[in-house]
Structure formats: structure tokens, C-alpha cells
């Protein structure tokens, strides 16, 4: 109980379910709904499930956000490596302003979630029209919304979107640990098997997984909107190549001189799990959206699901993913 209280630094950010505008209430009354395992209502908006408070923030975003041409949006399903991608993108994009060293870089004194803020979990929760001017340009934002929910808002802008995905079994195990860390009193009766069933059914906050992953996968293949599709496993396996790919996509490729001077390796070291998770700011600090940063660092890496999921759970998830992704060309190794 104590540990979870420490993690929720500013509980007011988790708005009460009924703390929504009349407009949001009207919308909610027209949406399909389901109850989560605690009996809280979830609503399906543009293909994803949300609690009312999150819907309110999404509506705020959709009404107010005007994408600048240079904006960068980092998108992901929760627990897919968002924190890592935030750190890497920030370090890559701002490397001329902040040299990637282990002495004075902003990532050493501030956590990635404060440097790259979530739209619907942070900025648009607190404010219907947050002041985005204070964010240094190029502005980097993050989201867990599917592409179709961003689409209208970003349509007329050449801003760039980077999506990171991860094997669903590792996502699930990571989410399981995260939930028990952050809200252990609420999840004490909730087994890993319950979470597997929830994933199979698809009606959970920000789910279903396949709706989100495929929304970005499809536009990354065909759309005129620039979307870079990244995989956590590839980032772990070939970090240098993936960071260079990220820089190329963001229009700030590493020069030969930078490569020779070890710039890529320095950024990777700065943003590594080992470095970030051991920083005081990430061990004891607070994040702009209410969850203590250390909750975002657990183990890192690929394949921890093998230590947690039974053969039966893994088989059910594999079958579900195989069915949902069939024909899309997207595969998880």
C-alpha cells in the first residue's frame, strides 16, 4: 500500500470518472461500453477503450491541438518502450543544444516523461488549452492513442510520427508488473491469467492491442503521412542501426564526423536502461503526469514473458495475435 502511494505523486491527475464536460457526457452516451474487472465503465471511441476521464483529455486534444510542421509525435501501446523512445528522440533531436554526456544533459536531471510529455495522459488532462509554446522546438509529444484518433488533428501537417511496438507477451508481463506496482491495492485480486483473458477479449484501457498496432503499421506502409514503425526487439538487437534510422527519419541524420566521434554510442549510453534506471531523478523523482518515474524501469530486454506466462497463456496470446495480424504483413518474432 505504501509503495503504491509513493508512486501516485499527484492523484488529481487521475481525474474522477464523472469529472467530464457535458460534451463528453453526450459523447459517452452514444458509445459502446463495457465494464472493466473492477466494474468501472470503459467506452469505445474510434476503436479503442477508455475511461471517461481519458476521453475528456482526448476531446480536449482533438479540439485544441494544432500540429506545427516540425512537431514529432511518439506513439506506442503502453509498455512497449515509450520511455526509452522518448529519451532517444529527445537526445537525438536536441543533440546540438545538449551534448549527450553523462555530466550535464537534461536527461540526467529530469525523467523522459517530463521532457517529452504525453498529450492525453498529461498535457490535455490538466488543461483544455495547455501552453505548448514553452516546449523547445522541435516539439516532441507522446501518445497512446491509435492513429485514427490523431489523424484529423495531424492531417494538414507534415509533422512526423514514430511508433514503437513490442511483442504482446512482453507487453502484457510488463503491464502486469506496472499495474501491481502503481495500483497494487486495486489489483490484489487480479491474476496474470485475468490479464491474459482481458487481452484476448480486447476491452481494456487503450486496447485492443491489435487495433492500435495495425493503425500505425498500415499508415507506415502506404500513407503520405510520414510514420516510422519501430520494434523494441530490433532496438535491443541493433541499437546503433535503429537510432540512425530514427535520426534519418526525423531529418537530423548523423554526419560522418558525428559517427566517427562516437555520437551514436554516447546517445545510446545516455539513454540506456542501466544509466537511466540508476539516476536519482528516475529513482526518486516525480513525473509530470503523476506516476513516479521508477515505475517505468523494471528489467528491460526481450523474452521475460517466458518467466511468467504458462504454455497455455502463451499459446492463447500467440493464436490471438496470429489471427488479428493475419494478412497484414506484420510479424512478431
Residues designated as active site? 144
Cβ(98)–Cβ(92) below 8 Å:
no
Shortest distance, position 82 Cβ to ligand A3P, whole Å: 3
Cβ 257 to ligand A3P shortest distance, Å: 26
Binding site for ligand A3P (CB under 6 A): 76, 78-84, 170, 174, 177, 271-273, 276, 296-300, 304
Q: Which CB, 60 or 83, lies closer to ligand A3P? A: 83
2 sits in which H/E element: helix 2-7
Nearest to 85 by CA among 306, 304, 226, 296: 296
Q: CB within 8 A of 150, min separation 6: which ones?
A: 73, 75, 143, 161
Q: Which of 129, 126, 118, 128 is nearest to 12 (CA)?
A: 126
Helix axes 52-64, 22-29, angle to 10 degrees: 110
Chain centre distance of CA 291 = 14
Q: How far is the CB of 30 from ligand A3P (least distance, A)?
A: 31
Bond preceding residue 208 cis, omega within 30 of 0: yes
Cβ proximity to ligand A3P, 59 vs 100, nearer residue: 100
The vertex-242 CA angle with 257 and 211, nearest 5°, equals 150
Q: Which is nearer to ligand A3P, 197 or 304 (CB)?
A: 304
**Which three cell numbers, joined as nine digits, stand for 66?**
494544432
Question: Which grid coordinates are listed for 304?
Answer: 521475460
Q: Please name which of 102, 234, 75 lies closest in space to residue 160, comparing C-alpha atoms.
A: 75
Q: How far apart are CA 65 and CA 124, in angstroms?
A: 9
Minimal distance, residue 300 CB to ligand A3P, in Å: 3
Contact 211, 320 (CB under 8 A): no
Least CB distance to ligand A3P at residue 275 (A): 8
Instruction: Return d(Cα 330, Cα 333) in angstroms, integer.
Output: 10
CB closer to ligand A3P out of 124 and 297: 297
At 328, give phi and psi (nearest 5°).
-85, -20
State which residue, 27 or 293, has the beta carbon closest to ligand A3P: 293
Nearer to ligand A3P, 79 or 160 (CB): 79
CB 7 → ligand A3P: shortest distance, Å? 13
23: left (phi over 0), alpha (psi -120 to 50) or beta: alpha
Amino acid at each position: 500500500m505504501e509503495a503504491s502511494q509513493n508512486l501516485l505523486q499527484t492523484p488529481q491527475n487521475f481525474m474522477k470518472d464523472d469529472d467530464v464536460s457535458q460534451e463528453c457526457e453526450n459523447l459517452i452516451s452514444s458509445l459502446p461500453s463495457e465494464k472493466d474487472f473492477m466494474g468501472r465503465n470503459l467506452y469505445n471511441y474510434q476503436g479503442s477503450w477508455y475511461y471517461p476521464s481519458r476521453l475528456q483529455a482526448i476531446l480536449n486534444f482533438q479540439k485544441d491541438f494544432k500540429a506545427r510542421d516540425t512537431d514529432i509525435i511518439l506513439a506506442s501501446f503502453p509498455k512497449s518502450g515509450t520511455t526509452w523512445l522518448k529519451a532517444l528522440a529527445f537526445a537525438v533531436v536536441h543533440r546540438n543544444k545538449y551534448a549527450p554526456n553523462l555530466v550535464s544533459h537534461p536527461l540526467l536531471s529530469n525523467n523522459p516523461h517530463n521532457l517529452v510529455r504525453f498529450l492525453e495522459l498529461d498535457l490535455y488532462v490538466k488543461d483544455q488549452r495547455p501552453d505548448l509554446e514553452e516546449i523547445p522546438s522541435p516539439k516532441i509529444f507522446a501518445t497512446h492513442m491509435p492513429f485514427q484518433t490523431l489523424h484529423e488533428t495531424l492531417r494538414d501537417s507534415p509533422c512526423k510520427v514514430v511508433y514503437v511496438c513490442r511483442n504482446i507477451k512482453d507487453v502484457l508481463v510488463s503491464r502486469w508488473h506496472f499495474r501491481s506496482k502503481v495500483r497494487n491495492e486495486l489489483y490484489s485480486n487480479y491474476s496474470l491469467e485475468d490479464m491474459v483473458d482481458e487481452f484476448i477479449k480486447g476491452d481494456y484501457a487503450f486496447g485492443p492491442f491489435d487495433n492500435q498496432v495495425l493503425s500505425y503499421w498500415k499508415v507506415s506502409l502506404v500513407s503520405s503521412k510520414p510514420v516510422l514503425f519501430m520494434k523494441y526487439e530490433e532496438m535491443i538487437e541493433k541499437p546503433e542501426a535503429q537510432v540512425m534510422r530514427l535520426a534519418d527519419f526525423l531529418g537530423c541524420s548523423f554526419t560522418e564526423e558525428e559517427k566517427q566521434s562516437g555520437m551514436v554510442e554516447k546517445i545510446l549510453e545516455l539513454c540506456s536502461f542501466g544509466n537511466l534506471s540508476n539516476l536519482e531523478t528516475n529513482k526518486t523523482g516525480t513525473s509530470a503526469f503523476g506516476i513516479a518515474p521508477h515505475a517505468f524501469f523494471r528489467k528491460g530486454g526481450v523474452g521475460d514473458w517466458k518467466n511468467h506466462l504458462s504454455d497455455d497463456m502463451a499459446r492463447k496470446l500467440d493464436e490471438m495475435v496470429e489471427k488479428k495480424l493475419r494478412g497484414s504483413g506484420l510479424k512478431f518474432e
